[in-house]
Structure 1
Amino acid sequence: MSNKRKEFTLTELAEKYTFFEESDLYKFYQEVDKTYKGVENNNFCNKVLLSGVEDPVIITFLKSILRGLYPLLNNENFPIVNNINSQDKHCIYLKYWLYDQLIINNFHGYDIKIIFDFLEKHKNACIKAKSPEKSCVFYNLTLEDIDDIKNLYAYSELFYETKIKNFREISKDKKYLNYFKRGFDLYRRSKIKCLSARSKEFCKEFNDYKSIYEDYKKQSAFLSCQEHFLDTLYNEDTSSSEEALLKVGTPKETVDSDFYELLKKDDLLEKSHLSKFYESLNEGYGTHNDSSCTSLSEYSLKEKTTICELLGHVENILEKWDKIYTPHQELSSNKACDYMNYWFYDRLSHVDATMCDIEIFYFLWHKYARAKHPPKKTCYNKEYSGLSKKQLRNKKTLFDFLEYYDYIKDELNKDKNENQSDYCKYIKGIFQLYKDMERKNISHSYSEELKLFHMKFVPNDELHFLEEKCPDMCLEFVFNKKLKTLCPFEEKSLSEEQKEKLKACEHLKSSSDRGHIDEKYEKFYNITNLTTYNIYKELNEEAKTDNSYSICERLIPFNDIHCGIYDLCIKVVRNLKKLSRMENKKRTDRCEFITHWVYDEIRKIPNIFSNNSYGTDAIREFFNAVYDILRKLDITNCFFNTININFDEQKEKKYLHDYFKNYNKIKNEIVCNNTECEKYCEYVTSINELYGKYINRCCYCFKFHGCKERYPDYFKCDDIYNPHNIFEKLKCNQIEKFRKGMVKVGKSNFADDHVLWLTDKYGKEEKTLLKLEKIDSSSTPEKICSEITCDPFYVAAIGAFGLMGFFLLFFILYKLTPLGSYFHNRGTRKKRNHFQKRYKTFLDDDVEFKHGNMKNRRMSLAYHQVRRPIE
């Protein structure tokens, strides 16, 4: 027997959760269990009925259960059993006890069949109940059926019947929560399965169980909301502590308390219709009428007083709806009704009522509004789908924020607002709430609020506005569905020890320790008014030092020797976050800049080019972090070379990349005097050397059809970008230093040079042959050649076509002339002649005599009587 099944016997469940001991099932179970373990009696049933069973273990078990069944079914004294509330569930409780015993005693399929056969055979004998209401039918179930039925009973009789406060205790252990949740799934599947398979024993058992709940409409209603509740418990973070529950009517703010205090600072609370309408509802709340509770009498509620009070307040508000709604004529009727629904979300989130209680409340609200008021002069409830108190609070919090957002935006637009930081922090919390609600919207509980949020921030530039006003808040990732959290990188404060390691490297004295800084680069390639300068300046801006990205913490141990490697990682995070929000050409361009910038910044890190392996480990760990960042941001089109990096070559590639990005600005916008032009001329002259070094490596060119760029991320092959064009445009040869001019770099070879050479050569030979045709053929026969006979292609083609023509001709002759019949009959004749020869030889060999003297020989004749057929 599976140990897993034994974990879910009633005894084990009650040991795990002691509150199950209060259930009727447990009380019944314990009472029957006493008789099962009692002293054996020798009554008539034990002696007669067990005569057909041979297995001693099964005989012992049957004797034990008969001690429990016989007195229970014959109205003998069971004070606890007879006093429990659910008298018509005795059979269910008895079966549950029996199924537990089968599992506890490790019975297998064949043993279980014997036991059920015994119960079926003698159901009208000693175990027959004296009264019909006490009768109990035992169906011949398999071990799997027993496990399923017992699971279903445990869900309905234990989980639901326990107090609502105990649900969360069960949810802390996913194993047990899944067990009870499976019970509901079994109920739902079995209702469908047993419509078409009623003859099966399992379905007979299930239908008996279901019929009991059909007699109790108020109890059967719980099944619809329990499923939602189980899903909520499963998805909810049970580690969070329970909030204190407030009673209905307790004075409190109409919006979230933190939001309420924030709005009060800038007097925004009264600007929205929302707050005013909430106040109107508070005034119209009134006291409830006890007569409203009469409609609850037919329902089973755990918090009847609370639901009665809420329902009474609904009636009060709807009776005064015209009075409440009239002062707010600028609101549409639908918007006013929305406000009322969200106001009740707040009330319901602060009462100790079950999901099923709330579901009945909404049902009666709808019923009352439909019966008492015309459709256009009332407010119906929103659809309720088993929402928890936390879900109700989330829905209202997000809705309230969206109603006030325009007023918050106005405050953020002001030049100086002391509360801007507080607004940004609250907005970040709301955006994280949106992400959580979107992720947990499995049953579409939040669909309406998510749609409103989407409409507010997607079709316009609201996100760009918030990014500008609230930088480094990760607000731009709110609609990235691949990220579970708003910020893909965890931020936390640095410890004192970490801050110590990240201090500036004051101990680095010599310039050699500072890393490799190219002074030529500083002079020629770092011109401040070029396009690339501003981009690299933005990429290299100092990052915050008070917070740490956990993804970069792995580099802190390297920072004391390789000063700046941690800061570079922080900058990479910031820059790649911005890259992830860019699209198309802008994204590609920024990726190229980031790639070249990273290699250039690594060159400047102290001791990074040391011969020991520690420097190599630092670079390896840095790029591991970079690729983790790319993966978290879902950037799949921006990569770094991390194997055998040649930093000198990467530096040259960066210079070339920057030149091509700066080309248009230099050519079209730079107007300079002699002093300024000298700086640009030095820049162009320096670039010309690199241009000549890389042009043939990077360009795959054809003489008449342009070039294919092998490395477009740092080199362009179009002749328009030749540095010599800039040299001439700036008139550098007029400057004394450059009077000798600058060598114009060209493409030294083309990919089709050889083909062009062969074509040219072949053309010349062709002309020579054409001239020979005018010479007398008798004088130069060896030099005259036909185009067909000299070209091997033509010779092969003519041969192939000739062979095909021969086969085609032969096929026609074979099919359409006597020649085909001749060849065909010839083979037949050969076969016939061969057969005749073989047959003659056989006859000659098979005869019993040959021609000769037969005087002295006997002749034997053998004959067989011919049987005439029966007519």
Structure 2
Amino acid sequence: MSKLRNNFTLSDLANKCNFIRKLDLYKFYEELDKLYKDEGNHNLYDMFSHLGVEDPDVIKFLKKITRILKGLSNQEISVDKLTKTKNNNCTYFKYWLYDKLIIHGLQKQDIKIISDFLNSKKNYLDKIVSSNKPCKFYKLNLNDIYELKNIFDYSEIFHDADISIYDEILKDPKYLNYLKNGLSLYRRGKIRCLSGKKNEYCNEFNEYANNCNNYETRLPYLSCREKFLSSLLKKDTTSKGEPLRGDGTNEDTLDSTLYKLLEKDKIVAKTHINEFYKALNTYNGTYTVNTCNLLTDNLMKEKDAICNLFRRVENILEKWDDFVSKYDNLDPKDACDYLNYWIYGKIGNLDGSPCDIDNFYFLWHKHSIYESKNKNKNKCFNEKYYGFNTEELRNKKKVFDFLVYYESIKNKLKEAKNECKKDYCSYIKHIFELYKIMEWKNDSHSYKEELILFQNKFSSNKELYYLEENCPDMCLGFVFNKKLKTLCPFEENTSLKLTKEKVKQCENLVSNKVPGEIDKNNEDYNFSSLPSATVYNKLNGEVITDYYYSICEKLIPLNDKHCGIYNLCTKLVRNLKELSTMKKKERTDRCEYIIHWIYHEISKIPNIISENIYESVALREFFNIVYNVLRKLDITNCFFNTININFNEHKEKKYLHDYFKNYDKIKNEGACNGEECKKYCKYVLFINEIYGKHINKCCYCYKSEGCKENYPYYFKCDDNYNPHTLFKKLKCNNFEEFREKFKKADTPMPEDHYVKRLAYISLNVPHLLNRDNKKSSIIPDVVSDKITSDPFHTFALGSFGFLGVLLILFILYRFTPMGSYFNNRNTRNKESYFENFEHQFLEHNVQFNRGNTQNRRMRIAYHQA
């Protein structure tokens, strides 16, 4: 037997909580223990030997039980004086028995013997239990007994205990977890042992659960105890970790951070809600004894505050119609919502237990029944109560108030010079983070209404795009991503100053080799007016945020040797987050830009000398992070090559990609002048060289089907994009320095697709070309030889031929005149005999009987024709 299980005997629990010694269960247990410890002088070995019991420990245990039963029967102890009713005596006796079985660690066979023995002593047990509830013992194993004992401890000892008792239990997490486990086992048993299910454990559990229903019905809300027990280890704080204000006197109407922002921009009065909350605060109420006479629950911590609040609500509801009529154009339903959320704020700021909240709504429910007969036209009821705790109430109100003011906040975000824009964005992010928390904690549907309101407001991509544009780097676009438990999966709060200290500046760092410097002799062809420049400027923009990208943290130690790799990682994470919110063509285009951009930027990192990332610790760690981000963001169509990286080749691919993206813009620029035109011509000449180098590899052309693009993410085979077209459009021939240098790069010679296919087959799979010829030769000769030479085939053909002949003969005989011919041949022989007989008969002049034939049957002679 585990030591842990022995630590929860009734004696251990009583030593932990003194109140247990006053319970009927404890007194009953102690009296049984007195008899149990009395060894007595009875030699009962012979009595148990017929049961097949040989274990001396089991025999000793049975002797003690027999002593107890006889003591009860002889009224050596009077259990009637210990308990108020006999209804619980069987449970108390079983509790004592289970406690002893756990202490002794008896096995299933031993427990079966003990159960059979007790069931045989029904006459003893009936004296201590209610006559209409016999005490039956089931054949359980030790684990079942432990679970039932755990359930008994929770329901019999702590269910009706005063709330101060829980404060004692809270001091020892071991005992608290034991009681919480008892609650979980009880709930699980309700599911495991549905009515009709038959086994020893369920028989015992259902018998006990039916008895428990007697006291469950006395409670207005059983769930408050369950919630209270479940929350004891969790100090109830706001989502920001602020301590509760438990005095119940707070009269704030809105979340303080939101109120300051709204007040500063003078938009707090844009809706009725704040004014409405203030008006509700003016109603007072002092409860009388009659106000809360229904509340007898010992688990209430803030009974006075709850009763006072309910009295205030009563006063408000009595004058509800007049109160609502003061607010023009306020829908009665909205008014009821405002009242509900005002109440959430009041109760949420109390240091109350779940039972305090449940009892407030119990009072309101009773009031609503009475109020249904009232003359008030508009009525407000607590239809949306699902058993909240204080944290849930605060969160619900905070989200609701924000949604009411969102349109006003949105209009302020449009103002370019608004000083509060950053603060508004921070608060919006806070609410979005709160939404994610509420979504993941909505098991009991406590946040159902607020989640629906939030989704209705922000589910359209248009709304999220607007917020992403005005509040960048806030992860707002991830709010509905079901795979992410948090809003920003790559961030954690930290000191921005600390991050900057970790990531040292690298201006004076000397590198052994800096790939990318090979292009320093080339011109900078990144024209600021072209589309590609705009995108790259955005991709390469600094990450402006007060959050630290923790996912890139592993690169900080490598930043000394490979200066800039950490910053590049944070930029890439930012860019991939934006990519995940894009759709269709926009997403594909941005992915192409990111791929070309990242290789170009990596080539600038000092000391990146390997062309294989697995030979470079920095690159290996960098791309591991990249693919981790792609997986978390569920990006499955934008990947990076990590093997045999050739930075020079990637640069050329980037130049070509950008050229095709910029082509239409350059072409539509029209005639250019002077140095600007000269610069464009120089760029086209530079691209033409790379274009000619890649065109044969990237394009595969056919005579009738155009050209196939082998690498569409950076090269277009359409001849309209040929640099020669731009060269002519820009009139670059007017510049003498370009006139002789430009050489047009033509597309590959088109090939006949069918001929090319045959050539491929003849080279790689030549046997396919001879397949038809081989088939034609096999059919008349080879196949024929095989059939005729095989004895089985010869026998089969002969047999089927013979059967066929028989079948044909049968058909001819049965269904054609030939069959009639053979039949008539025999008939003619018979007819010659009958003709001779007839002549003979006539010659003797035989007279016929001419009697009346009307009453006789007519007999018609028949013979085959």
The bucket for the TM-score relative to the shorter chain is: 0.7 to 0.9
Q: Show the counterpart of 1:583.
A: 583
CA-CA distance at 1:661 after TM superposition: 1.1
CA-CA distance at 1:718 after TM superposition: 2.0
Q: Show the counterpart of 1:863.
A: none
Q: Show the counterpart of 1:599.
A: 599
- What do the CA deviations read for 1:285-342 (whole angstroms, capped 9, x no partner)? 4233433334446x77645655544443333222121232221242111111111111
| 1:385/1:445 contact within 8 Å kept | yes
Q: Show the counterpart of 1:417.
A: 418
Between 588-597 and 371-380, report the one with greater CA deviation. Answer: 371-380
Q: Show the counterpart of 2:368.
A: 369
| 2:73/2:127 contact within 8 Å kept | yes
Q: TM-score, normalised by structure 1?
A: 0.79
* Alpha-carbon distance between aligned partners in 2 of 1:351 and 1:69, rounded to the nearest angstrom: 53
Q: Show the counterpart of 2:805.
A: 817
CA-CA distance at 1:818 after TM superposition: 4.1
| 2:492/2:547 contact within 8 Å kept | yes
Q: 1:185 aligns with which of 175, 183, 187?
A: 187
* Alpha-carbon distance between aligned partners in 2 of 1:400 and 1:23, rounded to the nearest angstrom: 50
Q: Show the counterpart of 1:461.
A: 462
Q: Indicate whether 1:331 and 2:333 are aligned.
A: no
- What do the CA deviations read for 1:803-860 (whole angstroms, capped 9, x no partner)? 99999998984443249999xxxxxxxxxxxxxxxxxxxxxxxxxxxxxxxxxxxxxx
* Alpha-carbon distance between aligned partners in 1 of 2:786 and 2:65, rounded to the nearest angstrom: 95
| 1:91/1:134 contact within 8 Å kept | no
SS of equivalent to 1:103: helix
Q: Show the counterpart of 1:216.
A: 215
CA-CA distance at 1:662 after TM superposition: 1.4
CA-CA distance at 1:352 after TM superposition: 5.1
Between 726-735 and 791-800, report the one with greater CA deviation. Answer: 791-800
1:208/1:263 CA distance change after superposition, 3 Å: same
* Alpha-carbon distance between aligned partners in 1 of 2:223 and 2:403, rounded to the nearest angstrom: 31
SS of equivalent to 1:479: coil
CA-CA distance at 1:379 after TM superposition: 0.9
Q: Which residues in structure 2 correspond to 1:715-794 (within 5 Å)? A: 715-740=715-740, 742-750=742-750, 752=752, 755=755, 794=776
1:708/1:21 CA distance change after superposition, 3 Å: farther
Between 686-695 and 164-173, report the one with greater CA deviation. Answer: 164-173
| 1:25/1:158 contact within 8 Å kept | no
Q: Show the counterpart of 2:285.
A: 286
Any unmatched runs of 5+ in structure 1? 760-789, 823-871
SS of equivalent to 2:700: strand
* Alpha-carbon distance between aligned partners in 2 of 1:72 and 1:135, rounded to the nearest angstrom: 18
Q: Which residues in structure 2 correspond to 1:626-705 (within 5 Å)? A: 626-705=626-705
Counterpart residue identity of residue 395, structure 1: K
Between 374-383 and 303-312, report the one with greater CA deviation. Answer: 303-312
Q: Show the counterpart of 2:344.
A: 345
* Alpha-carbon distance between aligned partners in 2 of 1:77 and 1:757, rounded to the nearest angstrom: 105
1:801/1:288 CA distance change after superposition, 3 Å: same
| 1:677/1:730 contact within 8 Å kept | yes
Counterpart residue identity of residue 817, structure 1: V
Counterpart residue identity of residue 650, structure 1: H
- What do the CA deviations read for 1:736-777 (whole angstroms, capped 9, x no partner)? 122236332223455647816989xxxxxxxxxxxxxxxxxx
CA-CA distance at 1:381 after TM superposition: 0.6
Q: Indicate whether 1:194 and 2:185 are aligned.
A: no
CA-CA distance at 1:733 after TM superposition: 2.4
Q: Show the counterpart of 2:813.
A: none
* Alpha-carbon distance between aligned partners in 2 of 1:46 and 1:219, rounded to the nearest angstrom: 48
Q: Show the counterpart of 1:433.
A: 434
* Alpha-carbon distance between aligned partners in 1 of 2:229 and 2:340, rounded to the nearest angstrom: 24
* Alpha-carbon distance between aligned partners in 1 of 2:596 and 2:280, rounded to the nearest angstrom: 62
1:316/1:171 CA distance change after superposition, 3 Å: farther
* Alpha-carbon distance between aligned partners in 2 of 1:369 and 1:560, rounded to the nearest angstrom: 70
Q: Show the counterpart of 2:139.
A: 141
1:521/1:226 CA distance change after superposition, 3 Å: farther
| 1:699/1:717 contact within 8 Å kept | yes
- What do the CA deviations read for 1:97-123 (whole angstroms, capped 9, x no partner)? 211211221111110111111212123
Q: Show the counterpart of 1:56.
A: 56
CA-CA distance at 1:57 after TM superposition: 0.9
1:279/1:436 CA distance change after superposition, 3 Å: same
* Alpha-carbon distance between aligned partners in 2 of 1:498 and 1:278, rounded to the nearest angstrom: 43
Between 177-186 and 608-617, report the one with greater CA deviation. Answer: 608-617
Counterpart residue identity of residue 462, structure 1: E
* Alpha-carbon distance between aligned partners in 1 of 2:19 and 2:204, rounded to the nearest angstrom: 24
1:272/1:242 CA distance change after superposition, 3 Å: closer
Counterpart residue identity of residue 282, structure 1: N
Q: Indicate whether 1:93 and 2:95 are aligned.
A: no
- What do the CA deviations read for 1:258-284 (whole angstroms, capped 9, x no partner)? 333443333444443112222232223
Any unmatched runs of 5+ in structure 2? 760-771, 811-865
Between 127-136 and 274-283, report the one with greater CA deviation. Answer: 127-136
Q: Show the counterpart of 1:712.
A: 712
Q: Show the counterpart of 1:313.
A: 312
Q: Show the counterpart of 1:406.
A: 407
Q: Show the counterpart of 2:861.
A: none
Q: Which residues in structure 2 correspond to 1:369-408 (within 5 Å)? A: 369-374=368-373, 376-408=377-409
Q: Show the counterpart of 1:476.
A: 477
Give the root-mean-square deviation of aligned CA atoms: 4.2
| 1:536/1:593 contact within 8 Å kept | yes
- What do the CA deviations read for 1:408-448 (whole angstroms, capped 9, x no partner)? 33333334333333332222211111110001111211110
Counterpart residue identity of residue 570, structure 1: T
1:62/1:552 CA distance change after superposition, 3 Å: same
Q: Show the counterpart of 1:256.
A: 255
| 1:171/1:234 contact within 8 Å kept | no
Q: Show the counterpart of 1:858.
A: none
Between 705-714 and 746-755, report the one with greater CA deviation. Answer: 746-755
* Alpha-carbon distance between aligned partners in 1 of 2:507 and 2:84, rounded to the nearest angstrom: 82
* Alpha-carbon distance between aligned partners in 1 of 2:632 and 2:338, rounded to the nearest angstrom: 39
1:710/1:484 CA distance change after superposition, 3 Å: same
Q: Show the counterpart of 1:266.
A: 265
Aligned length: 784
* Alpha-carbon distance between aligned partners in 2 of 1:810 and 1:659, rounded to the nearest angstrom: 80
1:411/1:38 CA distance change after superposition, 3 Å: same
* Alpha-carbon distance between aligned partners in 2 of 1:676 and 1:491, rounded to the nearest angstrom: 48
CA-CA distance at 1:643 after TM superposition: 1.7
Counterpart residue identity of residue 560, structure 2: D
Q: Which residues in structure 2 correspond to 1:29-178 (within 5 Å)? A: 31-32=30-31, 34-35=33-34, 38-42=37-41, 54-66=54-66, 71=71, 88-125=87-124, 129=127, 132=130, 137-143=135-141, 144-164=143-163, 166=166, 169=170, 176=178
* Alpha-carbon distance between aligned partners in 2 of 1:211 and 1:733, rounded to the nearest angstrom: 100
CA-CA distance at 1:234 after TM superposition: 9.3
| 1:20/1:158 contact within 8 Å kept | no
CA-CA distance at 1:161 after TM superposition: 3.3
- What do the CA deviations read for 1:681-704 (whole angstroms, capped 9, x no partner)? 222222222222222222233222
* Alpha-carbon distance between aligned partners in 2 of 1:758 and 1:108, rounded to the nearest angstrom: 81
Q: Show the counterpart of 1:549.
A: 549
* Alpha-carbon distance between aligned partners in 2 of 1:222 and 1:45, rounded to the nearest angstrom: 51
SS of equivalent to 1:444: coil
| 1:19/1:162 contact within 8 Å kept | no
1:268/1:725 CA distance change after superposition, 3 Å: closer
CA-CA distance at 1:592 after TM superposition: 0.9
CA-CA distance at 1:648 after TM superposition: 1.2
| 1:660/1:721 contact within 8 Å kept | yes
SS of equivalent to 1:378: coil
1:674/1:422 CA distance change after superposition, 3 Å: closer
* Alpha-carbon distance between aligned partners in 1 of 2:592 and 2:464, rounded to the nearest angstrom: 26
